[in-house]
Structure 1
Amino acid sequence: MVLPTLDKPVGQCLTNLRRPGGLGKDPERAQRRAEQLAAVDPDWNPGALGWTVDWQRHYTGLTLLLEGGAGLEEIVPGVTHRGDDIGRWLARQRRDWARLNTEQQHRLGEMGVKPVARPQKTATRTNTKTGATKGSDAFTRGVAALQQYIAREGTTVVSRSHVERLPDGTEHRTGVWAANQRARRDKLDAAQLSMLAALGLEWAA
């Protein structure tokens, strides 16, 4: 679709508007523009809501499938909407429910989506747990940094030189970390791949 007055693709136009300063440098004008866009679609800027454009697109696809008469039990991996595998995405949301924010959980819950019940984990030996915890903490920190970047920028593309400043004031070499995860994807476990796929990284799905 092309905006008739701007002669630009709607998707590209919205991507530009979502970027920092995309609504203009004047704060009052930017606020007015944001209000006008929200009047058309309250979810026009997913990053400000705490999720990615990719998540928003799949959520919309799920909504349309349900409105079209499909039941949740029918939306399994392989069921698509406009090329997106909504079934596989839905399975990830159920599996990674704890990683969704409150609003995401609320919206999916209103549709009847519930998290997958997880079996209780058995205790591991202390000497192996310590090493695993260190690696897990580093990975979780990287995911948090990348999630913050995606929520702000609205894209999963991050330059290798990018450094993300975390809420605690520390800096994280998110660009290098993201590149390393992709290079060593064969060594990542299923849970780690699921976390990255949930952020919209197609190579991890």
Structure 2
Amino acid sequence: MCDALLSEEHGLTKVLPGVVAHGCDVGAWINRQREHTVWENLLPEQQRLEGLGLTPLPAAPARNTAPAARAFERGVLALEQYKNRTGSVTVPRAHIETVVVDGEEHPVKLGVFLTNSKTRRGKLTANKLAALGLAWAA
């Protein structure tokens, strides 16, 4: 329906989200259609969007690790940093340790990280926590 509305316009250069026509947020719809994963799955009759001047957005760069894996690595780094500074791996639950990864600061709720890791220790495959002195991680 929204593509029919766009085809009625002549000289249309840009429609931003929030532009509503006949109850359809045309701008949001256009942005959604241009997303790489959506564009790749358009049906042949939907591909006429190119005739209206719409092009797909570039694909997002692939990340080399899952967000959970990166978070775990930051937690291990935070524990290592804490141990080097204090000489202990006994961390108060509310403690937040800030680590720098790739030039960016990341606050890590270290006490929460350790509690969660201990709860999920059966799922852990890496012994990085045990190497830092946590007996329960072995």
TM-score, length basis structure 1: 0.33
TM-score, length basis structure 2: 0.48
More helix by share: 1
Greater radius of gyration (CA): 2
More strand by share: 2
Relative contact order higher in (CA < 8 Å, ≥ 6 apart): 1
